[in-house]
Amino acid sequence: MSATATDAPAVRFAAACKSFGDTRVLDRFDLDIPRGEKTVIIGPSGSGKSTLLRILMTLEGIESGRVEICGETLTDRFDGVERAPRGRGRLRKIRGHVGMVFQQFNLFPHMSALENVACGPRLSLRRSRVEAEAEAEALLRRVGLGDKLGSYPLQLSGGQQQRVAIARAMALRPEVMLFDEVTSALDPELIGEVLAVMRELASETSLTMLVVTHQMGVARALADRVCFLENGRLVEQGPPEQVLDAPENPRTREFLHALN
Ligand code: ADP
Ligand code: MG
């Protein structure tokens, strides 16, 4: 039975195990994220950060343990291919809680910024074109792109494209937003504009944010809590000033030291 009480955490991993072949990516992984918390995940390449987010996005399944989003259990693999209608409905419901932004912006190249943001609500939420485009325009203004509604992705800078991608994910009104190294592919001078948008979203207290980054400036700017992940295990977690400035675990210290 899945608890749908509003006091269920936004995200819960309980003894979750995930392997690719012989590679154990998550090893009895536990993590609870209360609603509204901004959590930043750091850790070496290959430590399982993207896999965590992909599981929450129902793009990957787990082998054992439990994963919940807003009280809904993702018990199994959700390839979304051949599911009973009831299964598909549940999958859609779970996906509706979650939005994700990737390192590569993944915008539709043949659609304008406005169409990129409006298409999700039109298809998934059955909004009319007028309604979806009005909301898309408001979101694009919010991310500072009110003057780029008609621009196509190739006409936009990387930072602008990433802001469109954030607006597009927000258009589906998720409760949980996942960010996978969204500033990593950007030229340094473009990071600030994307980070500013993420900070603005973070001021929305009801939005749960789970942010993977290897840029400690991004971590500091956003995190209520920083989690250091290594080999699919949560090695250390705490407020940013503790984990980033006074890490207790030698592995965390080594990782942070190598970044400098
Ligand atoms: P991170 O995002 O922390 O760099 P990932 O979650 O992408 O790490 O990957 C964790 C481990 O799982 C790595 O060893 C990676 O090679 C492996 N892995 C990830 N995705 C796949 C896949 N689809 N098939 C096989 N191995 C994978
Ligand atoms: Mg990754």
Cut 0.95: pTM above it: no
What are the residues facing 42 on neighbouring strands?
A: 228
Residue 86: CB atoms within 10 A of its CB come to 8
- Return the pLDDT at 79: 46
Q: Is the CB of 48 under 6 A from ligand 1?
A: yes
Residue of 251, 234, 232 lying closest to 31 (CA atoms)? 234
Close Cβ partners of 7 (under 8 Å, ≥ 6 residues apart): none
pLDDT over threshold 90, residue 259: no
Which value does ipTM take for this structure? 0.97
Of the listed ligands, the closest to the CA of 18 is 1
- Return the pLDDT at 88: 63
- Return the pLDDT at 5: 52
Report the C-alpha gap between 141 and 231 in whole angstroms.
40
Q: Is the CB of 22 under 6 A from ligand 1?
A: no
- Cα(149) to centroid of ligand 2, in Å? 30
Q: Is the CB of 49 under 6 A from ligand 1?
A: yes
| C-alpha pair distances (Å), 123 with each of 118, 205, 232 | 9, 28, 36
- List pLDDT tens digits, range 138-163: 999 999 999 999 999 999 999 999 99
| Residue 253, φ and ψ in degrees, nearest 5 | -60, -45
- List pLDDT tens digits, range 97-135: 899 999 988 899 999 999 999 999 998 888 899 999 999
